Structure formats: structure tokens, C-alpha cells
Amino acid sequence: MEEKEFLYDRLAQQALCVLREQAELAARELCEKARLKKGQIVVVGCSTSRILGKNFGSYSHPDAGEAVFSGITEVLNEHGIYLAAQCCEHLNRAIVIEREAVPHAETVNVIPQIKAGGSFATTAYHAFRCPVVLEEISADAGIDIGGTMIGMHLKKVAVPLTLDHQRIGDAIVLAARTRPKFIGGVRAVYDERYL
């Protein structure tokens, strides 16, 4: 291997390590701020094109998808939280998740690919022990990496969270938790654990 190629590979590996670390920090912060518990579900939408500073769908990058997936799953696995990986618009933002998280859910038949599903969801599909794909889910919290519109997969009511770690690569990171709806009027009393 020529010295130039070796240096390029070293720089690429360092960049992927940075993406993994940024994803891990964002996931840790989400778990803490959203007060997530074992068995809950976090939806993650991730545009590797946006991470790399490109337009949506123009530069899907499997290595970047794997780096971000690795950082997020390390944290979620530590807490016993399930990852719901959102596919891109070409699969109608379908969800890839472990079957055990949704044992009675109605599944659909599709296998995400880099250009139809995205790098992150494709990585999830191949990394999960027993992956299934769903058209929709109602997740407890979420991370949106690059403006992928995860809101359709969050329970009502979504509450925005401001993370200290607001970027993964060039992509803006948005996060949310959910809470039960408040019902009743002026006489209602609410459980402070959900505020």
C-alpha cells in the first residue's frame, strides 16, 4: 500500500471514530434527559449524506452508517432499550427493529438497501439478531440526525430535548422524548414524573 493510500485510510478511520463517539454521546444524553427505562423504544433517523455535508440521498455511506449505529447501540444495549431504525423515504420511512421488541406487530416484507432504506437502517437490518420491518411504530423517544423527520414514529405527546451534542459530522441532531397526554381542566392533578 502506498503511503498516500495509508494516510487516507488512517484519516478515514479517525473520522469514523469521531462519528461513532458523537453518536454515542448524543445517545447517552438522550437516555439521561428522557429518563428512559429498560424495554422502551428509541427511534433513530439518520442521513449519512447529511452527516457528510451532502444533500439527502446523494451520498449514502455504509461506513458512516455503521459508525453511528455502533455508537448508538452500545448505549441503548447497556440500558436494555430497543433501537427502531427509520428507513429513508424510498421505503416510506419504515422501521427496522428486533422482533422481540414488537412480538405481535404486523410486519412488512422488505429488506433495506443503501439506496432504498439508507445506510443506517441497512446496517441495523444486518446487525440485529432477528430483524423485522414495520410500517410504523410509537416510540418513547427519538434522535433525528440530519432532518429525517422521525416525528411520525413518536408517541403523542413529543417533547423536544435540547442536547449538548447537537451535531454528528455535519448533520444537526434533534431529539425528543414523549409523555402521556394531559387531560382534564383546571381541577386536574398531574403525575409530576411525566412533566
Q: Which of 7-11, 14-18, 157-161, 177-181 has the lowest mean pLDDT?
A: 7-11
Looking at residue 192, its pLDDT comes to 84
Q: What is the mean pLDDT of residues 139-168?
A: 97
Side-chain-side CA neighbours of 159 within 13 Å: the count stands at: 13
pLDDT class of 7 with cuts at 50, 70, 90: very low
> Please, what are the domains in the chain?
14-194 (3.40.50.10360)
pLDDT class of 185 with cuts at 50, 70, 90: confident
Looking at residue 4, its pLDDT comes to 44
- In three-state secondary structure terms, 73 is helix
Cis peptide before 157 (omega within 30 of 0): yes
Work out the percent of the chain whose per-residue pLDDT is above 70.
94
**62-79 helix and 3-33 helix, angle to the nearest 10 degrees:** 30
- CB atoms under 10 Å from CB of 139, counted, come to 25
d(CA 154, CA 136): 9
Looking at residue 5, its pLDDT comes to 57
Query: Residues 116, 154, 176, 191: what is their CA dihedral angle, to the nearest 10 degrees?
Result: -170
What does the pLDDT look like over 51-65, one tens digit per residue?
999 998 888 899 999
Determine contact, residues 176/154, Cβ cutoff 8 Å.
Answer: yes
Looking at residue 188, its pLDDT comes to 85
Amino acid at 61: H
pLDDT at residue 38 greater than cutoff 90: yes
Q: What is the mean pLDDT of residues 80-103?
A: 97
Evaluate if pTM is beyond 0.85.
yes
Q: How far is CA 107 from CA 115, 129, 135, in A?
A: 21, 16, 7
State the chain's mean pLDDT as an integer. Answer: 93
- Report which of residues 115 and 8 the model is more confident about: 115
Residue with cell 462519528: 19
Determine contact, residues 91/116, Cβ cutoff 8 Å.
Answer: yes
For the chain, report the end-to-end CA distance as a whole number of angstroms: 58
Residues near 24 by Cβ (< 8 Å), separated by ≥ 6? 71, 72, 74, 75
Determine contact, residues 169/22, Cβ cutoff 8 Å.
Answer: yes
pLDDT at residue 98 greater than cutoff 70: yes
